[in-house]
Structure 1
Amino acid sequence: MRAAAPALALTLLLAALPAAAETRCGWIDNPTPGNWWLTDAAGEWTLAEQGGYQAGGMDRIPDLSTGEWVATNGPHGYGCACMDAETDGADRIVAIFAVRQLKLADCAADPALPSRP
């Protein structure tokens, strides 16, 4: 039993550590209030849904309209960005740690991303 105690302590310590952040780059969409998605080479990731799901750290998304932003519905629209985030491994961003806005041309030139009008 004593020999198992250090292994158990290490297992509990590692389980308490946060998951590693991934850097994901692509089109960031905010088509309507409260709805946010990121589309990267792996697919579409939900950041927030109006009246429902919201990733932790949404306040870390800067005002993207001050950079290259395409307004499609009042102030809502899309841009290009990279974010350091944690995902659920399926289709949701669960935590946002940092967001860096890129030029629209960066996403437009990426063959792994869908084209935008």
Structure 2
Amino acid sequence: MPHNAPGHSPTRPNLRDPRSAHRRAILGACLTLWLVVLPGTVWGKTAAKGPAVENRCGWFVNPSPGNAWLIDRDGEWTVAIQGGHQADGDWPPPRAEKEWVPAGGEGDPRGYGYSCACMKVKTDHAQMLITRIVSSQGKPLSQCRRDRKLSEPSD
């Protein structure tokens, strides 16, 4: 239908025009994709990222080879068990030698013991596991000793 034909309005589409029906079908398909499919894809990717990184501070205990825990306000988190679970990432180094309490008393040649540390980690709350250490930092022993919710480990 010509643009200057009687009954044709330049602001109102002719619904009988086959091109208009085709445009409506394409628009409908695009809207369906935009409103139904894309949000599910985006939300699915968000949910698949896994647990958020948490900052946890407390006593880092390494009493023997391959065994380590972080004891914080929420409880005892397993970092590693010899022959079993091992969190990905590096364990926290002590801030200084004087900030490391050796297991078995002064001068333990094996290097086992405990210190105070803060760690950015991913966890499995149900099993109280640290699954990944994103970063870790040794802290002064006094920081953990001042925290009334923490009890210093015993040998």
Query: What is the TM-score of this pair, normalised by structure 2?
Result: 0.68
Task: Specify every segment of 5 or more residues in structure 1 that has no aligned partner in the other structure, as ranges.
Answer: none
Give the corresponding residue for 1:112: 149
Aligned equivalents of 1:66, 1:18: Cα separation in 2: 34
* CA contact 1:24–1:84 (8 Å) conserved in 2: yes
RMSD: 1.8
Structure with the bigger percentage of strand? 1
Give the corresponding residue for 2:134: 97
Give the corresponding residue for 2:86: 54
Give the corresponding residue for 2:44: 12
Larger Rg computed on CA atoms? 2
Per-residue CA deviation, residues 52-73 of structure 1 (Å, 9 max, x unaligned), is: 111111xx22443844101114
Aligned equivalents of 1:18, 1:64: Cα separation in 2: 29
Task: Specify every segment of 5 or more residues in structure 2 that has no aligned partner in the other structure, as ranges.
Answer: 1-31, 105-109
Per-residue CA deviation, residues 7-61 of structure 1 (Å, 9 max, x unaligned), is: 211122212324211000000000000000000000000000001111111xx22
Structure with the bigger percentage of helix? 2
Query: What is the TM-score of this pair, normalised by structure 1?
Result: 0.88
Per-residue CA deviation, residues 86-108 of structure 1 (Å, 9 max, x unaligned), is: 11113110110011100111101
RCO (CA 8 Å, sep 6+): is it higher in 1 or 2?
1
Number of aligned residue pairs: give it. 115
